[in-house]
Amino acid sequence: MIAPTKFRLASAMPVLVLVGLCVVISLIEPRFLSLDNLIRIAAASTAPLMLALGVTFVIIMGSIDLSVEGAMAFSSAVLAAGVANAANTGLNLGLAALPLVVLGTALFGALVGFIHVFLKVPSFMASLGMSFIGLGMATVLLGGERVVITDPYVRALTLTRVLDLPIAIYVAAIMFLAAWVIENHTIFGRHVYALGGAEHLVVASGVNANRVRVLAFALSGFFIGVGSILASARLGASSVSIGSGQLFTAISAIVVGGTALSGGSGGVASTLVGVLIVMVLNNGMVIVGLPTFVQQGVLGVMIIIAVLLNQRNRVLPVVK
Amino acid sequence: MFIRNFLNQSMIDRRRFLIGSSLGVGALAASGGQWPAAAASGYSLASSIRSLSNAFHAAWNKGSEAFATSVGEHYQALVTEGNSEKGLTDIKALLAKVGDKTILAVDPNDSPDARPIVEAVAAAKGRVVTVWNKPDDLHPWDFGDNYVAHLSFSGVPAGEQTAKALFDTFGGEGGIVALGGIPSNVSAIQRKAGLQKALAANSKIKLLDFQDADWDSTKATNIVAAWLTRFGGDIKGVWAANDSMAVGALEALRAEGLAGKVLVSGTDGTKDAVQAIKNKEMAATVDWDPLWIGGITLSLGYHAATGKFKPSDESRAHREFYGTGALITQADVEDYWKKHVEATPTIDWNDLWGRLSGQITYN
């Protein structure tokens, strides 16, 4: 019975990598494990975790969502319009603006799903196209400026601490739980897995696959909306480039966590581990004092190793 | 008439935020802002720039529009979206349409792009002024009167001046950390060289660490957070190669209650950075005045075309030159705010050489 053991080892691998990283970094620089630093890592992880959670559902389904940067820009611009900002042009809705922003981004995601499903555009092109549309809309709304958000409620997400932790961390924790429940305890969650595993069987058993697909993209948009609010709160501003580089962070975190890009496996818990690996690495490499060009190389190597580990014992006939 | 004046004013105001009242104006600006010229003599003015989605090029575009409006000529923005091919194709299409009536200001997407652009404009007998990027061996004086001038800004004084202003905020003794841009960018290299010059002249300042944050706010926030773990209270100041990173660094400090205690310096003169200087949270930035760049480059081309001056008769210092960046510190920020943020500065587009700071030198 060797195969099952290997299988278990492979799925525990990301956790072992995370623990291993923490041990190595703290041996070199003990301050890495200080409470302050762990809170810093957690705070830095909140927005990337939200983005990665949303995209995880789409990837499990076997599609991909490349709209992260545009959806974030769009959502950030809507946020600036809805709350008090330094340009005095916001609607000043305060907290009421937040559900509007998240809903708006969910609609944005649903639109990606519609284009993908009903116009039969491959998901990577539909989402990439919508990403550019999102960037364009944000550009018009923000006029190319970085607009400072002055709304005290939004800023409180990062600046106010409850029991030593910024509120953003609690928000991220609640959102993670919600994603976990959706994944494991709803019919929709099961359908997402089934679609990624064998779509024709799902359709044959009478599931409305189109509906599930659109919903998954809308859910992705929902989480990107939350991520965008957290990122804007952290930067204290809305900007077209709020999402720059975040697509790469999200996808690499998902892959490093052990969710296969081919769909049907992995999950939000793996994504949490993946995000933590990437953020611990980013934080740890600065603390240890590695030069920037080495840091980028280390991250690239980590991603390739993660993909290798994820292949488990499976023999792939073709790789493309 | 009232509407037209309002639109003109909105277009010229570089600080206008488009959400709300001026949304319609934004759409007009994005489409190139074309309206009938009052006394057109048939010239077609254009600025080829990366995009309208960053504050720098958006302000550039407004400067170009302001100049075109002042002489009553047709103007359009050609947007490359970071694509060199698209940049060149759009310029060739314009040349095919208006030929020797073309007056072009261009921020080449990449240095090598400047050569085919200049050659195409020269072949059509139009006028071109390049900004920031060009190969070192491409010179305006090799193209007679068609390649009017090249304008650039040296990042060395900017990096040095902002560093010195930063050092002054903590009495010139202690440790700083520094955030660089994309390491291969000329401006990142120059600004870092400026920082190093300032460090060499201040032996009591120690550079604790230098990391490249690739001009990115989020990266800057995360790096500064990690530095706080590594160096803690040893950090007396944070130097950043541009304002996006400076603002990101400032937010990392704010999350730890250190904003205003540990100061940050940047470069580019973005509005939020100027506001942070006003709030005594940032030490300094340098304003390149893209509004001026957008107008003066077209003004140079226009005045060369209309015969106000003959480029080939001018000295080389009038063909390849550095503009002047304005250092903004806490001492003069209130004055700057009144003149440049609350009001839109009136710029004399006929003063072609007033803001030069020397001929460009090559290593």
List alpha helices for chain B, DSSP H: 2-12, 23-30, 55-71, 84-98, 114-123, 155-168, 186-201, 217-231, 243-255, 271-278, 290-305, 333-336
Q: Do B52 and A145 touch (CB under 8 A)?
A: no
pLDDT reported for residue B23: 37
Q: How far apart are alpha carbons A303 and B14 in whole angstroms?
A: 43
Q: Do A236 and B52 touch (CB under 8 A)?
A: no
Q: For the segment B146-200, what is each residue's pLDDT rounded down to a tens digit?
A: 999 999 888 888 999 999 999 998 888 889 999 998 887 778 888 999 999 999 9
pLDDT reported for residue B40: 54
pLDDT reported for residue A58: 93
Chain B residue numbers with beta carbons less than 8 Å from the beta carbon of A80 are 19
pLDDT reported for residue A272: 94
pLDDT reported for residue B10: 46
- Min Cα distance B10 → chain A (Å) is 12
Residue of A nearest to B54 (CA): A144
Is the Cβ–Cβ distance between B290 and B340 less than 8 Å? Answer: no
User: For residue B92, which of B60, B58, B34, B48 has the smallest C-alpha distance?
Assistant: B48
Q: How far apart are alpha carbons B182 and B215 in whole angstroms?
A: 6
- Min Cα distance B314 → chain A (Å) is 37
Q: How far apart are alpha carbons B8 and B33 in whole angstroms?
A: 10
Q: Do A287 and B229 touch (CB under 8 A)?
A: yes
Residues of chain B with pLDDT under 70: 1-41, 53, 363
Residue of B nearest to A30 (CA): B230
Give residues 205 to 244 of B whose Cβ lies within 8 Å of A.
Answer: 209, 211-212, 214, 216-219, 221-223, 225-230, 244
pLDDT reported for residue B354: 84
Chain B residue numbers with beta carbons less than 8 Å from the beta carbon of A292 are 183, 211-212
Chain B residue numbers with beta carbons less than 8 Å from the beta carbon of A245 are 214, 216, 218-219
Q: Do A283 and B212 touch (CB under 8 A)?
A: no
Q: For the segment A136-163, what is each residue's pLDDT rounded down to a tens digit?
A: 888 888 876 788 888 888 888 888 888 8
Mean pLDDT confidence for A178-192? 91
- Which of B211, B221, B226 has its CB closest to that of A235? B221
Q: Do A148 and B272 touch (CB under 8 A)?
A: yes
pLDDT reported for residue A315: 53
For the stretch B65-68, contacts whose Cβ atoms lie closer than 8 Å and that sit 24 or more positions apart, written own/partner, are B65/B11, B65/B12, B65/B29, B65/B33, B65/B294, B66/B11, B66/B12, B66/B291, B66/B294, B66/B295, B66/B347, B66/B349, B67/B294, B67/B295, B67/B296, B67/B298, B67/B299, B67/B302, B67/B349, B68/B298
Is the Cβ–Cβ distance between A93 and A100 less than 8 Å? Answer: yes
Mean pLDDT confidence for A103-118? 92
Residue of A nearest to B254 (CA): A159
- Which of A143, A234, A241 has its CB closest to that of B18? A143
List alpha helices for chain A, DSSP H: 2-28, 35-60, 68-82, 97-118, 123-142, 152-159, 167-185, 187-197, 199-204, 209-235, 246-257, 268-288, 292-310
Chain A residue numbers with beta carbons less than 8 Å from the beta carbon of B23 are 140-141
Query: Where residue A7 falls among pLDDT bands split at 50, 70, 90?
Result: low
- Which of B20, B248, B275 has its CB closest to that of A148? B275
Confidence (pTM) = 0.81
Q: Do B255 and A166 touch (CB under 8 A)?
A: yes
Size of interface A-B (CB pairs under 8 A): 142
Q: Do A81 and B19 touch (CB under 8 A)?
A: yes
Chain A residue numbers with beta carbons less than 8 Å from the beta carbon of B230 are 29, 31, 286-287, 289
Query: Where residue A312 falls among pLDDT bands split at 50, 70, 90?
Result: low
Chain B residue numbers with beta carbons less than 8 Å from the beta carbon of A143 are 16-18, 26, 58
CA dihedral B197, B198, B202, B205 (to 10 degrees): -110
- Which of A32, A142, A148 has its CB closest to that of B229? A32
* Contacts (Cβ under 8 Å, ≥6 apart) of A237: A146, A147, A148, A149, B217, B247, B272
Q: For the segment A16-57, what is each residue's pLDDT rounded down to a tens digit?
A: 888 988 998 999 988 899 998 999 999 999 999 999 999 999
- Which of A31, A245, A287 has its CB closest to that of B219? A245
Mean pLDDT lowest among A3-7, A110-114, A265-269: A3-7
Q: Do B229 and A34 touch (CB under 8 A)?
A: yes
- Min Cα distance B277 → chain A (Å) is 14
Mean pLDDT lowest among A263-277, A303-317, B128-142: A303-317
Mean pLDDT lowest among A3-12, A267-276, B70-79, B173-182: A3-12
User: Which ipTM was obtained for this model?
Assistant: 0.86
Q: For the segment B211-230, what is each residue's pLDDT rounded down to a tens digit?
A: 988 888 888 999 999 999 99
> Which 3 state secondary structure label does DSSP give A148?
strand
Q: Do B226 and A282 touch (CB under 8 A)?
A: yes
pLDDT reported for residue B11: 45
Give residues 9 to 38 of B whose Cβ lies within 8 Å of A.
Answer: 15-21, 23, 26-27, 30
Q: Do B21 and A159 touch (CB under 8 A)?
A: no
B342 interfacial to chain A (CB closer than 8 Å): no
Residue of A nearest to B15 (CA): A145
Positive or negative, the CA dihedral A57, A60, A66, A69 is positive
Q: For the segment A228-257, what is each residue's pLDDT rounded down to a tens digit?
A: 999 999 988 888 888 888 898 898 899 888
- Which of B17, B218, B251 has its CB closest to that of A143? B17
- Which of B26, B219, B222 has its CB closest to that of A140? B26
Q: Which two structure tokens, joined as six digits, stand for B96?
A: 């095919």
User: For residue A36, which of B295, B233, B25, B288 has the smallest C-alpha distance?
Assistant: B233
Residue of B nearest to A149 (CA): B272
Chain A residue numbers with beta carbons less than 8 Å from the beta carbon of B27 are 140
- Which of B216, B251, B255 has its CB closest to that of A244? B216
- Min Cα distance B203 → chain A (Å) is 22
Q: How far apart are alpha carbons A254 and A316 in whole angstroms?
A: 20
pLDDT reported for residue A216: 93
Residue of A nearest to B229 (CA): A37
Give residues 258 to 317 of B whose Cβ lies within 8 Å of A.
Answer: 270-272, 275
Beta bridge partners of A85: A149
B57 interfacial to chain A (CB closer than 8 Å): yes
